[in-house]
């Protein structure tokens, strides 16, 4: 039987779909339990308002992950990627990121960029496994307890990638 295009292969019955305003409370709940310095509700609403690519992963009505990507000047920028803690290490983050990258590729964007805390080993492994490479450091980019933390800047060339959107 053919697989539905928006079905998440890693997790039967899970789907990726566009985020809507009504998802924001559930997004915020996952955001607050995932980051020490979470985005505010207003940031997510702004991302929706300006038309960034905002996607959620849902299973049986429960929101289990989300991602936000902006684009401009021929480049994509992955702004947020998050999976509910109890659902991690099941391929959801990878599938969601591949979905965003496929959209960027299909839109004809040339490169994807993102920032990540150098201490975020799980995220860095995921990004590097998809081909992202470190290209620099933004000094004091992130809030941190007692000061600021640098961001590693990673880049992925999108040209030549397949643009199949899952
Ligand atoms: C980063 C994050 C989105 C990964 O989501 P996930 O669904 O758990 O990731 P996946 O199961 O798809 O794993 C993909 C790859 O990431 C790496 N990875 C994921 N979790 C890892 C961990 N705990 N330790 C080491 N590597 C890990 C592995 O390379 C893995 O590939 P493998 O399964 O073949 O070994 C998730 O950990 C998360 O939401 N973290 C909190 C929010 C965050 O830090 N987001 C990134 C901000 S830049």
What's the chain's length in residues?
A: 166
Gap from CA of 120 to ligand 1 centroid (Å): 9
Measured from the CB, is residue 122 less than 6 Å from ligand 1?
yes
Q: How is residue 123 annotated by DSSP?
A: H
Cα(141)–Cα(15) distance, integer angstroms:
33
Q: What is the pTM of this model?
A: 0.93
**Angle 127-76-102 (CA atoms, 0-180°, nearest 5)?**
70
* Angle at which helices 121-129 and 92-106 cross, to 10°: 50
State whether the beta carbon of 116 lies less than 6 angstroms from ligand 1. Answer: yes
Strand order in the sheet with 133-144: 14-18, 53-59, 62-72, 75-83, 111-116, 147-157, 133-144
Q: Which atom of ligand 1 is nearest to the CA of 117?
A: 48
DSSP string, 7-70: B-TTSTTEEEEE--GGGHHHHHHHHHHH-SSPPPHHHHHHHHHTT-EEEEEEETTEEEEEEEEE
Q: How far apart are CA 75 and CA 91, in angstroms?
A: 25
Report the candidate in 37, 26, 115 with the shortest Cα–Cα distance to residue 79: 115
pLDDT values of the chain reduced to their tens digit, one per residue, 166 residues: 333 445 565 667 899 999 999 999 999 999 999 999 999 999 999 999 999 999 999 999 999 999 999 999 999 999 999 999 999 999 999 999 999 999 999 999 999 999 999 999 999 999 999 999 999 999 999 999 999 999 999 999 998 776 666 6
Cβ-contact 149, 117 below 8 angstroms? yes
Ligand 1 and 30: CB distance under 6 A: no
Question: Of 123, 144, 155, which is best to mutate to test ligand 1, by the most ligand atoms within 8 angstroms of its C-beta?
Answer: 123
Tokens of 31: 């955001």
Residue nearest to atom 17 of ligand 1 (CA): 126
Q: How far, in Å, CA of 163 to CA of 49, rounded? A: 26
Atom of ligand 1 lying closest to residue 34 CA: 41
Contact 152, 116 (CB under 8 A): yes
């Amino acid at each position: 039987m053919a697989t539905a295009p928006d079905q998440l292969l890693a997790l039967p019955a899970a789907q990726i779909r566009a985020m809507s305003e009504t998802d924001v409370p559930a997004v915020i709940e996952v955001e607050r339990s995932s980051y020490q310095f979470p985005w505010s509700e207003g940031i997510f609403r702004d991302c929706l308002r300006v038309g960034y690519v905002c996607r959620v992963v849902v299973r049986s009505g429960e929101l289990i992950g989300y991602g936000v990507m902006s684009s401009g000047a021929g480049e994509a920028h992955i702004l947020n990627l998050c999976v509910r803690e109890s659902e991690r290490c099941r391929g959801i983050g990878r599938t969601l990121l591949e979905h965003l990258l496929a959209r960027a590729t299909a839109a004809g964007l040339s490169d994807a960029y993102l920032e990540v805390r150098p201490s975020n080993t799980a995220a860095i492994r995921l990004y590097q496994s998809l081909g992202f490479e470190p290209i620099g450091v933004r000094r004091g980019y992130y809030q941190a307890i007692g000061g600021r933390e640098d961001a590693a800047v990673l880049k992925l060339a999108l040209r030549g990638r397949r643009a199949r959107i899952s």
